Amino acid sequence: MIVDLYRSGGWWDEGWDPMGLRALIAGSFAFAVAIDPAINRAIGMGRVIPDGISDACIQDLVILADYRDRGIGTMILSTLLDYCTSAGVTRVAPVAEPGTEMFYTRPEFRRIEGAYPHAVAPGGEVSIH
């Protein structure tokens, strides 16, 4: 269940209505979920929030603790970046929780002091406004 993923990331307020997740997912430019078919359970997710034309942010990337260090996060991240690239989005900024920035050490990301790392689609530029 998607709520369990938000809980594991520490991003869920128990006063929220889980039905609101439908609007959150529908309002995302892209939403990827990893499922363990053996138990038919969502074990990881990530999403991209708009503008969906030239810039986007990867957000809410989380993997359940028992499934970490298996490449699932990398698979979700790659899927989201590929989708952005195929849609012509040239700047992608991952929003990382403090202490998780090391996950974004892929060659596509460049560290900019005082800012989040940025992924750049081929031909794109990194800039901070």
Over 73-102, what HEC string results?
A: HHHHHHHHHHHHHHCCCCEEEECCCCCCHH
Cα–Cα–Cα angle for 31, 98, 60, rounded to 5 degrees: 10
Does residue 47 or residue 103 have the better pLDDT? Answer: 47
Does residue 117 or residue 29 have the better pLDDT? Answer: 29
User: 19-78 pLDDT, tens per residue?
Assistant: 989 999 999 999 999 999 999 999 999 999 977 677 888 889 999 999 999 999 999 998
> Could you give all domains of the chain from N- to C-terminal order, each with its CATH number?
2-120 (3.40.630.30)
Task: Kindly report whether the global pTM for this prediction surpasses the value 0.85.
Answer: no
Phi, psi angles (nearest 5°) of residue 29? -70, -40
Closest CA to 60 of 71, 72, 48: 48
